[in-house]
Amino acid sequence: MKSPQPIYISAIGCYVPTKIVSNNDLAQSVDTSDEWIHSHTGIRERRIAKPEEQCSDLAVNAALDLFAKSNRKREEIDGIIVATATADHYGFPSTACIVAEKLGIKGAAAFDIGAGCTGFIYALEIARGMIMSGSMTKALVFGSEKLSEVVNWKDRNTCVLFGDGAGCVLLERTEEPKGIIDSTLHAEGAGSLALAITKDTKTITMEGRAVYAFAVRAIGDTVLELLTRNDLTIEDITWIVPHQANHRIIAACSKRYGFDPTMFYLNIERYANTSAASIPIALAEMEEGGLLKSGQKILFVGFGAGLTYGGTLIQW
């Protein structure tokens, strides 16, 4: 939806657990190698949460980082949305309510949303719509995942791919001509079982090749949809911040659609796939590294379980 009023990201935070698990560490327990994992995915290592660290704890730490880096106060927050597939207590109560309690935020609307690895893009759009309608004014939007809890550590096809972490942004109105310009959300439910957490084993299963082919198309089509709808060309865009699933997906998409691969911000090497958390973690890093500058047009693109996909066009 195109934005009738400017709503922007005013602050960003992230948190990744301190424990680093390298590809070589994984090769001690499953039949894999650093060479295979890095050449097939771009991943070198991932962060793994402590057993007692829940999805809400990762999110709370991301919010504390946001508050520490900005002059924003938790009393200002009247909306909390957590995109996650790994909610504390199966999402009942919602992780967002637990985050509100742990942060001491009282009375804010708080709920979780599930859209797989596209969750952050969906959550951002829900928050934007609610700010436009007046039902929130300052929303904390999280992607937070403790995927280590739902990974089958004996399955080399999936266990090497995922990591834990959380990122969040503060979304609010501005009088300045910047912020979210447009966004698009999609789902292809026919592919829902290609990437799923199964009820019997409570672990992730994935048809890797099918999801790979979908991902290449989903990124390319989302970028083109948002460009076309807004009379822009790829040259108008400074950064594409994709969900971090596999560097080969980005390379294949760049080749097929003619995008410059260096436009894509990638940090998968260090964190692996953190699902809904990957885009806000990348944003926090980009801000920290001084890569986000006023006036830049940036695209976020998510894809994943559902099969969902979508994107956000934003002017920084």
Binding site residues, ligand UT7, CB under 6 A: 32, 36-37, 40-41, 117, 156-157, 160, 195, 208-209, 211-212, 215, 245-246, 249, 273, 275, 304
> Which residue, 65 or 145, is less far from ligand UT7 as judged by CB?
145
For residue 126, the one-letter residue type is I
Residue whose tokens read 């009942």: 92
> Which residue, 72 or 243, is less far from ligand UT7 as judged by CB?
243
Annotate 219-250 with b (16+ C-beta within 10 A) or e (fewer): bbbbbebbbeeeebeeeebebbbbbbbbbebb
Closest distance of CB 297 from ligand UT7, Å? 25
Q: Which of 97, 117, 168, 253 is catalytic?
A: 117
Closest distance of CB 116 from ligand UT7, Å? 7
Closest distance of CB 243 from ligand UT7, Å? 6
Cα separation, 147 vs 134, in Å, equals: 34
H helical segments located in the chain: 23-26, 34-41, 55-69, 95-103, 119-133, 156-159, 208-229, 247-257, 268-271, 278-288
> Which residue, 15 or 303, is less far from ligand UT7 as judged by CB?
303
> Which residue, 13 or 304, is less far from ligand UT7 as judged by CB?
304
Q: Which of 23, 61, 246, 273 is catalytic?
A: 273
Closest distance of CB 68 from ligand UT7, Å? 29
CA distances from 70 to 74, 303, 308 (A): 11, 29, 32
DSSP state of 80: E
The verdict on whether 243 is a catalytic residue reads yes
C-beta atoms surrounding 209 within 10 Å: 9
Residue 281's nearest CA partner among 8, 15, 99 is: 15
> Which residue, 169 or 216, is less far from ligand UT7 as judged by CB?
216
Closest distance of CB 24 from ligand UT7, Å? 12
Q: Which of 159, 168, 243, 247 is catalytic?
A: 243
Residue 273's nearest CA partner among 1, 9, 47 is: 47
> Which residue, 178 or 248, is less far from ligand UT7 as judged by CB?
248
Cα separation, 302 vs 243, in Å, equals: 5
> Which residue, 199 or 209, is less far from ligand UT7 as judged by CB?
209
CA atoms within 13 A on the CB side of 109: 14
The verdict on whether 273 is a catalytic residue reads yes
Closest distance of CB 95 from ligand UT7, Å? 19
Question: Are the beta carbons of 238 and 292 closer than 8 angstroms?
Answer: no
Closest distance of CB 235 from ligand UT7, Å? 27
The residue number with the shortest CB distance to ligand UT7 is 208
CA gyration radius, the chain? 18
The verdict on whether 117 is a catalytic residue reads yes
**What are the catalytic residues?**
117, 243, 273
